Amino acid sequence: MIDHDIIDRTLRAAMRTGGEFAEVFAEDRRSTSAVLDDGCVEELTSGRDRGVGIRVVIGETTGFAHTADLSPQGLVSAATAAAAAARGGGAGTRVVRVSPSEVARSAKVRILPTEVAKATKVGLLTVADESARASGSAITQVTARYGDGCRQTLVANSEGLLVEDNQIRTLFSVSCVATGDTGMQTGRESVGRTIGFELFDEADVADMARRAATRALTKLGARPAPSGTMPVVVGAGGGGVLFHEACGHGLEADLVAKSASVFAGRVGEQVASAGVTLIDDGTMAGEWGHYAVDDEGQHAAHNVLIRDGVLTDYMWDRLRARKQGRHSSGNGRRQSYRHLPMVRMTNTYISNGSDAPADIIAATESGVYVAQLGGGQVNTATGDFVFGMTEAYLIENGEITDPIREGNLIGNGPEVLTRIDAIGNDFCMGSPGTCGKDGQGVPVGDGTPTLRVTRMTVGGTAA
Amino acid sequence: MSELADIATRVASWAADGEEIEAFVARARETEIRAYGGEVESLTSAESSGIGVRVVTGGRQGFAYAGTLDEAALAETLTEARDNAQFAGFDEFNGVAHPDGVAPADLNFFHEELASFRTDDKVALAIELERATLAADPRIGSVESAEYVDSIFESAVATSTGIASTSRETGCYLAAYALANDKDETQTGFGFSIGREPEALDVTAASADAAMRATRMLGATKPPTARLTVVLDPWVTASLLGIVGHTLTGEAVQKGRSLFAGRLDEQVAATSLTLVDNATDPEAFTACNLDGEGLATRPTRLITEGVLDGFLHNSYSGRRDGTASTGSAIRGGFKSAPGVGALALTVTPGDRTPEELIAGIDDGLLVQGVTGLHSGVNPVSGDFSTGAEGLRIRAGETAEPVREVTIASTLQRLLHDIAAVGCDLQRLPTNAVGVTLVVSDVTMSGD
């Protein structure tokens, strides 16, 4: 992406005023998206965004500057700005020479999206639209979205690291509106993988559209959700959102270091029911949160965070790891070259238990079954978190019965983790997500088997 | 002509016969300083720019963008947008905006004082914010983040149909996120101060607010489920109004996604609610002279004393509706084509202070914060359910803090159940004004 001599020169400029650590992060991102709405392919968008973010660390202070000017002068001037931002005193030139680059490659890509005709991409949208509308006359609106992105990155730092990566992601989603006597309801289905256009060999968009439509149609007959505390069974796949919020964020070392997490100082303690094993794994080839190296040039890793209920470790980026004298866990990520990296999740999941999903439901006298979760949010300092249910049903006498309307569930992370009393043997990954933290969004995956929480608060309106 | 206007006008002038071009060019200069432990934790200083080009030809629309203003990139972006248009569907209403003769307001959102404010002084503000937050109350154990952020934003829109507009603005804010401790318990609270120049920022108010919000939650417990009257804090009201604004766009109506489609002139809310989108109100932090398509912004009445008055339009939805744009095109930056939405929603204030409103409530909940607005509120169906924390109201006074509850209703009911609007309009960095709002008959789910 950038000549190595120029990188050397840029790092030297960054270190000239006493920097202890300097880093160049270059990114070249090309993306395409297409939207069909209201029966018409509204628009195709394509774009290119590239630039460099330069970080200089002096003591406890990080200086950061970014630029879209990739000329040698542009880079040196950004490096100087970052160094000035870090308020370097003293002087002393340090020679920086990066090692020969390692070219990492996130998941093998068979079909580069850039080599697929735009007409083919648009064709998928039409298939989804027709399939959704054919699912029932009550389907009154359909939106289908296609997106792909190719993100080339290069990370070089004053410790001699130089790594390149190429991440390719492809995404498709369908949203439907169904209209009936009770008003309108929506249904959504999405798939996203860190692979190329071969995504559509495994994902059938017509089938996705039918599932989205069915979800909206089912909810036309939904009852108001109950309100109050009750057992909650979360279906396989999407339940990962629950852990992402209940404890995932709270295990990010930057929040832990600021005592802004209820899990601070609890490594080695039993924090969850026995049988709960939580893993964050950026190496899961093809998954939405996968990459070969993170945005600080560290290799992604399989990190066990909770083993059989015991907290084993947090997730780390370079800055926090260095303060603790340990290695990064490969969780340093950023939205783009315009952002500083911080600790982020990748693919976060709960491993399989041994219960049959049907038995878990049958053993639940009454409660709520959440088949599809929406997003969520957490306050890591208090542990209180919410997640939305976009497809859910009542459980009555051990059976799944009526669909219920949308709403949030609320719980407290440390409490909910110890109230998991059944874990199924049907693990699967859920839908692709975008995780937001401090205004930065990054792609994340999650997954779970079916599981039950003995008590959680369902935020409906029914008595 | 400014450099950005020159670029936009030049790209728009490359339109071929039968082709419409819109070029949007933007440049931002930003500084972000975070203080922690009495030192600068990070200082980001950056400039970014980009162009987004929309092409409409034969009723088909294409869009492309580039995160640079290099000469070569301009032509490449246009070529790409033209190519993209070939693959889009035909829609007779597609097109860029046309000059409509409405003169833009002449408000100045660019304050030189910010452009010349020294970095050292910005650093001092961030560090002082952290210090003041810690000092505001002995129970504040630390400040998770204390930041100073500013931006200088310039943009230009030009079209082959004759629009050539530019705008520039400055803005800055202080934000503190405090952690209050008592034994093993931690509670959080944020405080904020915004302005167009650093002189307008109020460290004392932001730090006191953060400390007050965090400490008053200490000892919070989870209450039993109840149906009660809720008093929404101005920040919460602003979020709610933002969602309501979303349902009042021409696009949502035309595409069958608005709760309010076909309900013009009907009573959709309590008579105490009068809602206007007015980006020409100089007090609004999101005020602007021009919308995302380069047309003059103008006040649009949406709900008057509870009766639905109208919808927001950009040029597309206006044409499709047989009316015209209300100057309500919004852009999320240079990477996407303009959409339609509210720019600066405001309500007619009531005549009572928050304290007076609370004094009239026997059993209620003052909601100081909500979570999961994106996951538990569906603007199409109207289902409304969010996580909440705040203070119980008993016999006209705020009482014990409560946490880990949800509040739920439907948007349709919430609007009808508005019992009062406060007199405390607050300008927040959101597309809606903040004000205390009293809503009756809401379900609070707890134990």
Which residues, 6 or more positions from A165, have their beta carbon under 8 angstroms from its beta carbon? Answer: A103, A104, A105, A106, A152, A153, A291, A292, A293
A445 touches chain B (CB under 8 A): no
Strands A433-437 and A428-429: unpaired
**To probe the interface with B, which of A58, A61, A124, A227 has the most B CB atoms within 10 Å?**
A227
What does the pLDDT read at residue A103? 72
A441 touches chain B (CB under 8 A): no
Q: Which residues in A153-170 are b (16+ Cβ under 10 Å) and which e?
A: bbbbbbeebbbbbbbbbb
What does the pLDDT read at residue B400? 97
Cα B236 from chain centre: 12
Task: Work out the pLDDT band at B200, boundaries 50, 70, 90.
Answer: very high
Structure tokens at B223: 């209450």
A410 touches chain B (CB under 8 A): yes
Residues of A in contact with B408 (CB under 8 A): 225, 227, 407, 459-461
Residues A141 and A129 sit within 8 Å (Cβ to Cβ): no
pLDDT digits (tens, 9 = 90+) for B379-407: 999 999 999 999 999 999 999 999 999 99
Residue A421 phi, psi (nearest 5): -115, 5
From A411's Cα to the closest Cα of chain B, the distance in A is 6
What does the pLDDT read at residue A100? 60
State whether residue A422 is helix, strand or coil: strand
Question: Does B37 contact A43 at a Cβ distance shorter than 8 Å?
Answer: no
Question: Does B372 contact A386 at a Cβ distance shorter than 8 Å?
Answer: yes
Q: Closest partner residue to A406 among B142, B378, B447, by Cβ?
A: B378
Sequence-ordered alpha helix ranges (H) in A139-204? 199-202
Question: Does A119 contact B225 at a Cβ distance shorter than 8 Å?
Answer: no
DSSP states of B50-82: EEEEEEEETTEEEEEEES---HHHHHHHHHHHH
Question: Does B62 contact A44 at a Cβ distance shorter than 8 Å?
Answer: yes
Question: Does B387 contact A386 at a Cβ distance shorter than 8 Å?
Answer: yes
Residue A33 phi, psi (nearest 5): -145, 155
What does the pLDDT read at residue B359? 98
Chain A residues 336-355 with a CB less than 8 Å from chain B: 338, 340
Strand partners, A379: none
What does the pLDDT read at residue A94? 47
Does residue B46 have a pLDDT over 90? Answer: no
pLDDT, averaged across chain B: 96
Chain B residues 304-323 with a CB less than 8 Å from chain A: none
Cα B207 from chain centre: 22
Chain B residues 232-261 with a CB less than 8 Å from chain A: 254-257, 259
Q: How many Å apart are CA A159 and CA A156, to the nearest integer?
A: 8
State whether residue A117 is helix, strand or coil: coil
Residues of A in contact with B188 (CB under 8 A): 260, 379, 381-382
Q: Please say whether the dihedral angle defined by the alpha carbons of residues A285, A288, A294 and A300, taken in this order, is positive or negative.
A: negative
Task: Using CA coordinates, name the residue in chain B closest to A387.
Answer: B375
Question: Does A66 contact B46 at a Cβ distance shorter than 8 Å?
Answer: yes
Q: How many Å apart are CA B407 and CA B386, to the nearest integer?
A: 6
Residues A241 and A376 sit within 8 Å (Cβ to Cβ): yes
Query: How many Cβ atoms sit within 10 Å of the Cβ of residue A280?
Result: 31
From A354's Cα to the closest Cα of chain B, the distance in A is 30
Residues B293 and B163 sit within 8 Å (Cβ to Cβ): yes
pLDDT digits (tens, 9 = 90+) for A219-266: 999 999 999 999 999 999 978 899 999 999 999 999 999 999 999 999
What does the pLDDT read at residue A96? 53
Q: What angle do CA B27, B33, B35 make, to 5 degrees?
A: 170
What does the pLDDT read at residue A88? 46
**To probe the interface with A, which of B186, B216, B249, B320 has the most A CB atoms within 10 Å?**
B186
Question: Does A50 contact B42 at a Cβ distance shorter than 8 Å?
Answer: no
% of chain B surpassing 70 pLDDT: 100
pLDDT in tens, chain A (463 residues): 888 889 999 999 898 888 899 999 999 999 999 999 999 999 899 999 999 999 999 988 999 999 988 889 889 988 988 888 887 433 344 455 556 667 776 667 899 999 999 999 999 999 999 999 999 999 999 999 999 999 999 999 999 999 999 999 999 999 999 999 989 999 999 999 999 999 999 999 999 999 999 999 999 999 999 999 999 999 999 788 999 999 999 999 999 999 999 999 999 999 999 999 999 999 999 999 999 999 999 999 999 999 999 999 999 999 999 999 999 999 999 999 999 999 999 999 999 999 999 999 999 999 999 999 999 999 999 999 999 999 999 999 999 999 999 999 999 999 999 999 999 999 999 999 999 999 999 999 999 999 999 999 999 999 7
Question: Does A85 contact B45 at a Cβ distance shorter than 8 Å?
Answer: yes
Q: At what angle do helices A72-85 and A4-15 cross, to 10 degrees?
A: 30
Q: Closest partner residue to B67 among A68, A122, A186, by Cβ?
A: A68
Residues of B in contact with A370 (CB under 8 A): none
Residues B220 and B402 sit within 8 Å (Cβ to Cβ): yes
* Residue B374 host element (H or E): helix B373-376
Q: Please say whether the dihedral angle defined by the alpha carbons of residues B31, B32, B35 and B36, taken in this order, is positive or negative.
A: negative
From B265's Cα to the closest Cα of chain A, the distance in A is 20
A80 touches chain B (CB under 8 A): no
pLDDT digits (tens, 9 = 90+) for B333-368: 999 999 999 999 999 999 999 999 999 999 999 999
Q: Closest partner residue to B387 among A44, A62, A410, by Cβ?
A: A410
pLDDT digits (tens, 9 = 90+) for B86-100: 999 999 999 999 999
Q: How many Å apart are CA A449 and CA A353, to the nearest integer?
A: 7
A177 touches chain B (CB under 8 A): yes
Residues B437 and B367 sit within 8 Å (Cβ to Cβ): no
Of the candidates A83, A87, A80, A394, the residue with the CA atom closest to the CA atom of residue A226: A394
A277 touches chain B (CB under 8 A): no
From A374's Cα to the closest Cα of chain B, the distance in A is 5
- Chains A, B: CB pairs < 8 Å: 264
State whether residue A329 is helix, strand or coil: coil
Residues B176 and B195 sit within 8 Å (Cβ to Cβ): no
Chain A residues 112-151 with a CB less than 8 Å from chain B: 118-119, 122, 140-141
Residues A343 and A320 sit within 8 Å (Cβ to Cβ): yes
Query: How many Cβ atoms sit within 10 Å of the Cβ of residue B339?
Result: 16
Q: How many Å apart are CA B23 and CA B135, to the nearest integer?
A: 50
Q: What angle do CA A309, A299, A82 make, to 5 degrees?
A: 110
Strands, E assignment, A286-346: 302-307, 310-311, 332-333, 342-343
**To probe the interface with A, which of B42, B218, B331, B374 has the most A CB atoms within 10 Å?**
B42
Chain B residues 99-128 with a CB less than 8 Å from chain A: none
Of the candidates B444, B82, B382, B440, the residue with the CA atom closest to the CA atom of residue B231: B440
Question: Does A459 contact B408 at a Cβ distance shorter than 8 Å?
Answer: yes
Helix, strand, coil abundance in chain B, percent, nearest 5: 25, 40, 35
Chain B residues 36-65 with a CB less than 8 Å from chain A: 36-37, 39-50, 61-65
Task: Using CA coordinates, name the residue in chain B closest to A77.
Answer: B46
Q: How many Å apart are CA B53 and CA A304, to the nearest integer?
A: 46
Question: Does A225 contact B61 at a Cβ distance shorter than 8 Å?
Answer: no
B83 touches chain A (CB under 8 A): yes
What does the pLDDT read at residue A99? 61
From B320's Cα to the closest Cα of chain A, the distance in A is 13
Amino acid at B33: I
Q: How many Å apart are CA B318 and CA A334, to the nearest integer?
A: 39
Strand partners, A394: A368
What does the pLDDT read at residue B1? 59
Q: Closest partner residue to B45 among A48, A65, A183, by Cβ?
A: A65
pLDDT digits (tens, 9 = 90+) for B221-274: 999 999 999 999 999 999 999 999 999 999 999 999 999 999 999 999 999 999
